[in-house]
Amino acid sequence: MIDNNKIEAAVRLLLEGIGEDPTREGLIETPARIARMYQEIFAGMGEDAETYLRKTFVAPNNEMIVEKDIIFYSTCEHHMMPFFGKAHVAYIPDGRVVGLSKLARTVETFACRLQLQEQLTAEIAEALMVHLKPTGVMVMVEAEHLCLTMRGVKKPGSKTITTVTKGVFVAEQRLRDGFYQMIKG
Ligand code: ZN
């Protein structure tokens, strides 16, 4: 799916575009290196979250499940620069649960694409709703965007926080408060 030849040709052009010489020693391997790196950081392009969320188990109860501090690295689609941070994922089962590692896998699948933070947050929440059919989902993503902190306004360490709520989380403040309480610290 990812075309190494196209990436390599594009990187050579990019290097020329910024006034570099793509044939000098330090850069000669760079296009191939970037192509290999893209295979990894855009691995989510060929993946479906269903792969991880398909297998569910009977829930021992229907209390809120929170997986917090899921570290992720993604790439902003406006600048093709990294944004990275933590995702916190919660859901309230309706009889079925999924293995905890699968929540992190789901985050990774959507992060390893060209993304917008708002969209990443929404896609994680939607995948959980569709595949687990819980009574509610809440996802919070906090991230630093290099396109904000390395250029432009240059505010290192500043974070963007996005949340998406679905199902019972939308109407019930008590559940959202419970979520915030659990991800604190
Ligand atoms: Zn950006």
User: Rounded to an integer, what distance in angstroms lies between the CA atom of residue 147 and that of residue 67?
Assistant: 28
Distance 150 CA to ligand 1 centre (A): 10
Residues marked active site are found at 76-79, 117, 145, 147
Structure token digits, residue 177: 């408060």
Contacts of 31 (CB under 8 A, 6+ apart): 7, 8, 9, 11, 12, 15, 22
Please tell me the total number of residues recorded for the chain in this structure. 185
Residue 8 pLDDT > 80, yes or no?
yes
Q: Report CA(115)–ligand 1 centroid distance (Å).
A: 9
Averaged pLDDT for residues 97-124: 97
Six token digits for residue 172: 């019930």
How far is Cα 11 from Cα 34, in angstroms, rounded to an integer? 8
DSSP assignment of the chain, as one string?
Answer: ---HHHHHHHHHHHHHHTT--TTSGGGTTHHHHHHHHHHHHTGGGG--THHHHS-EEE-S----EEEEEEEEEEEETTT--EEEEEEEEEEE-SSEEE-HHHHHHHHHHHHSSEE-HHHHHHHHHHHHHHHH--SEEEEEEEEEEHHHHSSTT--TT--EEEEEEEEHHHH-HHHHHHHHHHH--
Q: To the nearest whole percent, how much of the chain has pLDDT over 90?
A: 91
CB contact at 8 A, 125 and 109: no
Q: What's the confidence (pLDDT) of residue 46?
A: 87
pTM as predicted: 0.94
Q: What is the pLDDT of residue 154?
A: 74
Residue range 97-103: mean pLDDT, rounded: 94
Per residue in 24-41, pLDDT tens?
Answer: 999 999 999 999 999 999
CA of 114 to the centre of ligand 1 (A): 10
Supply the pLDDT for residue 10: 98
CA 80 – ligand 1 centroid, Å: 7
- Tell me the pLDDT tens digit for each residue of 112-157: 999 999 999 999 999 999 999 999 999 999 999 999 888 877 777 8
Q: Is the pLDDT of residue 77 over 80?
A: yes
26: left (phi over 0), alpha (psi -120 to 50) or beta: alpha
CA distances from 137 to 29, 90, 128 (A): 45, 6, 7
